[in-house]
Homo-oligomer: A and B are copies of this chain.
Amino acid sequence: MNNLLILIQCKDKVGLVTDITRILALHKLNIIAMREFVDETENKFFTRIACSGIITDKLVLKQELIAVLPIEAKVNLVTKKEKNIAVLVTKEFHCLADLLVRAHFKTLGAVVKCVIGNHSTLQEFAEKMGVPFFYVAHENKSKADFEREMVQLLINYELDYIVLAKFMRILSPEFIQQYPNKIINIHHSFLPAFVGASPYRQAFERGVKIIGATAHFVTNNLDEGPIINQQTIHVNHTLNAKQMAIGGREIEKAVLSKALEQVLEDRVFISGNKTIVFE
């Protein structure tokens, strides 16, 4: 008996659920949990089906599903295996530490294969946690060279996702295009407010009464990729920008780890510049 996750994303048409579930029944797969969503604006269909049963031939099942689905359907059959991630950091510890502690105690749902830092600040901690840390300075070299160094490290691992855990360099489109839908960033504001540098400084100057954090996939446009998860907390006049940043750490790490959990459990579909998240 295996567990199988079936992820389908295609144009919508009448009868999709029936067609899909009929095929599963023929394969004697039992549906444990099923979520579906129709985006009526875009006429798109999404489903995530967890089933159990004896899966003799995944390829046959996939072909049978594709046969009843509209053309250009994306069908993904996932049998549970631990995913691999790399984490990029600068100096701030809180997001990285949160991920490494979870990984250490086997509750992250992924193995952290390596950490790359453009400062060496977090090297000691990563190594204490038993994770290889590579210090790749960004100084005195071109962005292209900086990124090439990172890529040469990253290609050593079969990575499912790259997590920017308060990595304070802007990645080039060339880098990003090598990892489509695979780079997840935590931005320290409730996007689309306060894009770019120093969001807490901007928040302080605007006099907002909430601060927040946003986890999103990284695309070519800075801070404009598909949002996975966001949260806000209340602040007041007594906090300056630095104190907001300290308070914001708590929500940054909470939002990042929640988003990562959702992604690693294959609950997140990307559709244009949005996400569908089956909770």
Stretch at the interface among A1-9, A169-177, A225-233: A225-233
Q: Within A31-47, which residues are at the interface with B (CB < 8 Å)?
A: 31-41
Q: Of the 9-residue stretches A55-63, A149-157, A160-168, A236-244, which lies at the interface with chain B?
A: A236-244
Stretch from A14-22, A111-119, A132-140 forming part of the interface with B: A14-22
**Smallest beta-carbon distance A9→chain B, Å:** 12
A279 touches B236 (CB 8 A): yes
Contact A226 B240 (CB under 8 A): no
Residues of B within 8 A of A210 (CB): 190, 212, 230-232
The reply to whether A22 and B18 contact each other, CB–CB distance below 8 Å, is yes
Q: List 23 A-B contacts (CB under 8 A).
A: A15-B25, A18-B22, A18-B24, A31-B36, A32-B38, A33-B36, A33-B38, A35-B35, A93-B101, A97-B105, A98-B101, A128-B128, A190-B193, A191-B193, A191-B208, A192-B206, A206-B227, A207-B227, A208-B227, A209-B214, A209-B228, A210-B212, A210-B232
